[in-house]
Chain A
Amino acid sequence: MNIFSFDNTFEGLLTLVYESYERKEFPDEILCGEGGQGGLFESTITITTDDQKAGRVWKGIVSHSSEVNAHRIYRVFLAGMPDTPLLLAKYIRLVIDSSKNEETNFSEPVVLEINKLHQKVCKEAHRVQMFVRFQKTVEGSYYASFAPLYDVLPLCIPHFRDRYADQPWIIYDLKRNYGFWYDLKDVSRVVFDDLKVNVQNGQLHSSLLSQDEKHFQQLWKQYYHSICIQERKNDKVHRQLLPQRFWKYLPEKGIL
């Protein structure tokens, strides 16, 4: 059994694919980070990320399928589930080994699985755009906490940057403890060690909030309840469309 371990970066995964071709040994299991727990008798092949090798594999994917497919692979990687790297390694091998473009061969289980996971990742990214709620701070910037299922924040940044170009903002992933900060010029990645935020509902400490922030949250909540038609109540559809895991971050759902 071939066990590989890599540093859990996208470039690392591409390097892993490169190395497996060079060794003519393909992974049966892939460990993330400093693994080394690959069972008693097996030895683990540890991959050192190499941008050049990763670049070769990226080009290989593009020439055997398409640029769109290469980007699809990147987005699926962001799903970050324990078995995602192995699934991707299998998929990349299928794409590279085939003489025709396999990306639309939906009768092949791996292809279909990749496409389903891709859809899930894109949906989660879309949900960030839907359900992020900014709070205005005392110094006039806008802050939002979120905890997406997958690591999709990087996919949403262009949208927020274009839409909220005239206000400084921070979107912070509480689950992965990092975020993005826009200062009216550039977006940069930030990590806070002492974030004064209530992890229960993502709300900043009230001393940091602008004076009228609570007032607008209240107005929004009032609006949300006034627009509902009681005669048409439909809890099942409501929960399907607005899953409960998001409720704690939404002022309209919270107790203020």
Chain B
Amino acid sequence: MISESSLEKLKILAGAAKYDVSCASSGTSRSNTNGGIGNASGWGICHSFTEDGRCVSLLKIMLSNFCIYDCAYCINRKSNDIPRTSFTPEEIANLTIEFYRRNYIEGLFLSSGVLRNPDYTMERMVSVAKLLRIEHKYNGYIHLKAIPGASPQLIADAGRWADRLSVNIEIPTENNLKLLAPDKDFKSVLEPMKIISTNILESKEERKKYRTAPLFSPSGQSTQLIIGATDDTDHTILKLSSALYLRRDLKRVYYSGYIPVNSYDNRLPALNTPPLRREHRLYQADWLMRFYGFKSNEIVNADHPNLDLELDPKVTWALRNPHLFPVDINKADPLMLLRIPGVGTHSVQLILLARKHNRLNSSHLQKMGVVMKRAKFFITCNELCSQNIQDLKPEIVRQLLLEKKTVGNDGAIQLKLFNPGMPALK
């Protein structure tokens, strides 16, 4: 039975965990077994949405908000005078099960401040996962944070029980990281990532030989970068994400607009509002790298180190490469279709299937969901088209696209990525 004080603890420890933006519950498909409770549905399910427009899929909570570190960007840094408390592993496990049984959540996302030392903290977190899997016969989703500096054995143990592990890099360059988090360096963060990715690869190899070989963190690993707390450019940030996707096989890199939690610390910039639009553009760029076949240096490079806040990264790329357009909708190959502004992955699928039956014109495209007000400058189809980017100049197209846009306040377009159609894409 959970006591009355649990309400207060929950308030503190959920509040302490909220700045971690990861919410994915996808990537593992697992049926319920042995008369236990829970399964993992491949696509992930969001169960609620908070007033900031973010999805609630997992019980995102900290085991404890005591911490021995003093990172400038973190609400839980040891020099902050805030109420501190801890849950016991049993309390967390019980709460998870009770919420899960009521269909409130898809699983658990457990993080923690560093108590005593990294190993001690990691061990307590692993014990929660073990309790759930063994005592409660729980087959639902578990996401554990790997604590930087924890021993490889403990991280390996965590990966056996969890669906996903993550280590947050937070600050994209080592110099800035050392400045803001004197107790950390890149090695302490990148080392656990390397251990995790090696273990994942080994487990995949093993399972090719033996179908019953144990899984390791089956839905991979993710990380988070804080945006706007340092002077790092979008070029630096996206180069890092791209390397993580390619070399460490990460499932997701999350971008978190910096919210001034410790405004007294003058190593940090004074911001009135979090940089939500920049964050949104970074997610768009991230999507282009993962689903649209773009390379990071096509989106940003030394000449264009930052993303255009007024237009989305695909449009700005297209305006820089007018020689590739217009694209013939009825003939172009899928990779080129994906590069047309206003055409998404779903539209590309529909176009590819439909053009086997008929030649398509612009009214077909409109009905299929192509955003014609953007696409019309970059395509030709089975009819006389309106003026495209070759007739006009890229600068004119840019002006025309901007005119149509009603720019709301900074947060207006934020977080549309998390729509329930693709609730928690890996």
Residues of A within 8 A of B (CB): 100, 102, 104-109, 112, 123, 126-127, 129-136, 142, 144, 159, 162-167, 212, 215-216, 218-220, 222-224, 226-238, 240-242, 250, 252
Contacts and interface: CB of A to CB of B under 8 A. Distances in A.
Interface in B376-390: none
A224 B7 CA distance: 12
Interface string B339-362: 000000000001001101110100
Nearest to B12: A226
A212 to B, nearest CB: 7
A104 B14 contact: no
A236 B276 CA distance: 15
Contacts of A222: 7, 10-11, 14
A219 B45 contact: no
B101 interface: yes
17 contacts: A106-B353, A107-B354, A107-B357, A130-B48, A134-B101, A142-B101, A164-B101, A167-B37, A223-B59, A224-B56, A227-B56, A232-B274, A233-B51, A234-B52, A235-B51, A236-B53, A237-B53
Nearest to B31: A162
A127 B49 CA distance: 12
A229 B360 contact: no
Interface string B50-77: 1111111001110000000000000000
B415 interface: yes
Given A130-B46, A237-B415, 6 more contacts: A126-B420, A134-B102, A219-B95, A226-B11, A229-B259, A230-B52
Contact of B104 (A100, A123, A133, A136): A133
Nearest to A241: B49
A104 B420 CA distance: 24
A212 B6 CA distance: 13
Chain B interface bracket (under 10, 10 to 19, 20 to 34, 35 or more) = 35 or more
Contact of B32 (A136, A163, A233): A163
A227 B101 contact: no
Interface string B76-118: 0000000000000000000100110111100000000000000
B102 A228 contact: no
Contacts of B273: 231
Contacts of B101: 134, 136, 142, 164, 167
A141 to B, nearest CB: 11
A123 B18 contact: no
What DSSP secondary structure best describes chain B's contact surface? Answer: loop
Contacts of B187: none
B114 to A, nearest CB: 22
A232 B50 CA distance: 10
Contacts of A236: 53, 412
Interface in B17-50: 17-19, 31-32, 35-39, 41, 45-50
B420 A127 contact: yes
B102 A162 contact: no
B2 interface: yes
B302 interface: no
A226 B15 contact: yes
A231 B7 CA distance: 23
Given A106-B353, A216-B102, A162 B360 contact: no
A127 B17 CA distance: 26
Contacts of B1: 212
Nearest to B350: A106
A-B CB proximity, top 5 nearest: A237-B53, A104-B353, A106-B354, A228-B50, A226-B14
Contacts of A105: 354, 357-358
Contacts of A167: 37, 101
A135 B103 CA distance: 10
A129 B35 CA distance: 21
B49 A142 contact: no
A144 B104 CA distance: 12
Interface in B144-201: none
Contacts of A228: 18, 50-52, 54
B208 interface: no
A163 B60 contact: no
Contacts of A250: 48
B297 interface: no
Given A216-B99, A232-B411, A226 B51 contact: no
A235 B421 CA distance: 19
A107 B419 contact: no
B276 to A, nearest CB: 7
B364 A107 contact: yes
B416 interface: yes
A80 B415 CA distance: 33
A237 B414 contact: yes
B336 interface: no
Contacts of B6: 219
B325 interface: no
Interface string B286-317: 00000000000000000000000000000000
A107 B358 contact: yes
Contacts of A233: 51-52, 411
Given A162-B39, A229-B18, A232-B259, A238 B2 contact: no
